[in-house]
Structure 1
């Protein structure tokens, strides 16, 4: 009987591989289900096979168990589906040969066995510098492992504009240093004490600092790329479209809000997050009271025909920042003729790159590698 209960529990968990999480704590679980599917596949397979040696309640557990096994496999199957189209789709936008890689291990967008490698390598040492003495803001600087003056990726952390820090998800930073990029992961002023455009101003200050110290840090000042996650994605996009820094070549947004006006009108489920309060804290009130702040903070309203190339990465099952944000910006970029690419991950939710070796992490990193190679060449 315990086996039957456990298999039904696995079945309920497996629903998070295909459906959006209805409450906050299940969103956290859904990240594990969709980005560590091999763990759940092995557990389900073991329990299902073990049950066939037990006659009592055999089919009562087998049916939900087999169903759970199939659903746990779905992120892997769909990841291979995305991977199969990723190369031609990317080359359609950025040209033939834009997906080539000299390193054999980086040639394939997704490999099942790579998921077993763990969360990722974060071994590259970094130094912390104060780039804004006035506000005591620091950045973690990861030097490229390639000699000479190298491009610099400026990473803007997530956290609903009110929390988070530059230590988030360092595995990608290490990966980028190995690929020949400097990385500057910055802290910025947080809401509700500070509001938009304070974080965008901080990005600008950080770039000015990196330019000033480019000699000692070996930064190629003609090659800056902004990369932001979640709230940091909004900051990165808005900074890229409004700062007009000469050396700013491109922007990458992982599941960032792109249309703040639309986002306020269609909030997230209150069982997951009070998104209207989050936005009000960042923008000084609700849309009715400060509509100009929502418009001024919307990357989709700031982008124009001269905007830098843009890479958008978003899971279609995102319950914190709706996939619609990236879809709407993608359409706007298409209308304006701006070079861009939207990596859609049908199974993925918010924070899908928590592990760089998960289905979403592998596909996102592959695309980021190719995009950076294109825009900084």
Structure 2
């Protein structure tokens, strides 16, 4: 029962955060274990009353992500239609699927590893997943997380496979990492990757008028900043998975140090404390670059995120709303950092559906403009 509380409250330590990801995204496992424990108490008759009572409470709590996911899924498409002021997407049934919780991930698609920068400082590559559809297709540039200091292009490849099968090209990018390299090195790398993809668009079958940036955690900060600052008309939207949007505020309200020393992480990336390099914090905050010309934005964040506060997305959404930029925040009450670890979990299903709807709206609108 104590473990089940991680589906309701913030994890107090690093290892309990990892447990929270498992509990909320693989709920059937914990529901099954709890059910077996209830049966064992009933059979042995030891602590039968209290054991059964605690077990039933735990079962209910373990089930809450599933129940909440059903409720959110029922309204997801309607809310996104309203947020982006576009016609409904009717070609797919975007509902929560209980049976997916027990299914295995689909086999991964093959990809090409392409070098997009070779220099004395770095030899940088990207993983390119070719669309299953013929002709020039939109390209999604994926930027991995890892506190700006770890991770790589092969992080959580299941979504890349899913998107390629839906008809999108996907480029998952490696970039220079802290603490050896400081900001804005990763921004320069993603910009170079975008240039490489554009120059090789004929061979890679890329529609250069339709790039979408997608980032996770630290990668989301990079994706947002690139989307709001690059003067590239080909960038049509950005997808933000639990990213730090306000670096100044984030430094002043750090994560629980028993989970992660977030201030040290930011110092390694930005080159010092806020007092030492305040301009680095301001210039690395995507929030500061939102304008009336910013691209549509999809944010996905769990309210129980203990590494990057949910308030980052609230702050970003407010700025986007104030300036009239189409946006949607998929808010997941049970979700924590890394909520998309599996596409089949409650968070994974909802976030994947939201991404599919968002991409269809962007690419359908783009196609209509070209036809005109």
TM category, shorter: over 0.9
Q: Which runs of 5+ in 2 are unaligned?
A: 365-372
Distance (whole Å) between structure 1 residues aligned to residue 108 and residue 47 of structure 2: 49
Match of 1:205 in 2: 192
Distance (whole Å) between structure 2 residues aligned to residue 72 and residue 227 of structure 1: 30
Segment drifting more, 39-48 vs 148-157: 39-48
SS of the aligned residue for 2:106 comes to coil
Match of 2:114 in 1: 129
Distance (whole Å) between structure 2 residues aligned to residue 122 and residue 185 of structure 1: 18
Does structure 2 conserve the Cα–Cα contact (< 8 Å) formed by 1:142 and 1:173? yes
Distance (whole Å) between structure 1 residues aligned to residue 45 and residue 357 of structure 2: 53
Deviation (angstroms), 1:42? 1.6
Q: Does 1:43 align with 2:43?
A: no
Q: Does 1:349 align with 2:324?
A: no
TM-score by length of 2: 0.95
Distance (whole Å) between structure 1 residues aligned to residue 196 and residue 171 of structure 2: 11
Q: CA offsets per residue over residues 237-294 of structure 1, 9 Å max, x none?
A: 0000011212111100100000000000000000000000000000000101111000
Distance (whole Å) between structure 2 residues aligned to residue 98 and residue 364 of structure 1: 18
Match of 2:157 in 1: 170
Equivalent residue in structure 2 for 1:88, among 75, 78, 81:
78
Q: Which runs of 5+ in 1 are unaligned?
A: 1-10
Deviation (angstroms), 1:122? 4.3
Does structure 2 conserve the Cα–Cα contact (< 8 Å) formed by 1:122 and 1:173? no
Deviation (angstroms), 1:55? 2.5
Distance (whole Å) between structure 2 residues aligned to residue 283 and residue 191 of structure 1: 9
Matches within 5 A, 1:6-155: 11-95=1-85, 97-102=87-92, 107-118=93-104, 120-134=105-119, 135-155=122-142
Distance (whole Å) between structure 2 residues aligned to residue 111 and residue 20 of structure 1: 26
SS of the aligned residue for 1:373 comes to helix
Distance (whole Å) between structure 1 residues aligned to residue 214 and residue 75 of structure 2: 24
SS of the aligned residue for 1:188 comes to coil
Does structure 2 conserve the Cα–Cα contact (< 8 Å) formed by 1:304 and 1:336? yes
Deviation (angstroms), 1:121? 2.2
Distance (whole Å) between structure 1 residues aligned to residue 89 and residue 351 of structure 2: 13
Distance (whole Å) between structure 1 residues aligned to residue 346 and residue 124 of structure 2: 34
Does structure 1 conserve the Cα–Cα contact (< 8 Å) formed by 2:86 and 2:361? no
Equivalent residue in structure 1 for 2:226, among 235, 239, 248:
239
Equivalent residue in structure 2 for 1:156, among 143, 152, 164:
143
Distance (whole Å) between structure 1 residues aligned to residue 46 and residue 152 of structure 2: 53
Matches within 5 A, 1:243-282: 243-282=230-269
Distance (whole Å) between structure 2 residues aligned to residue 261 and residue 100 of structure 1: 41
Number of aligned residue pairs: 362
TM-score by length of 1: 0.94
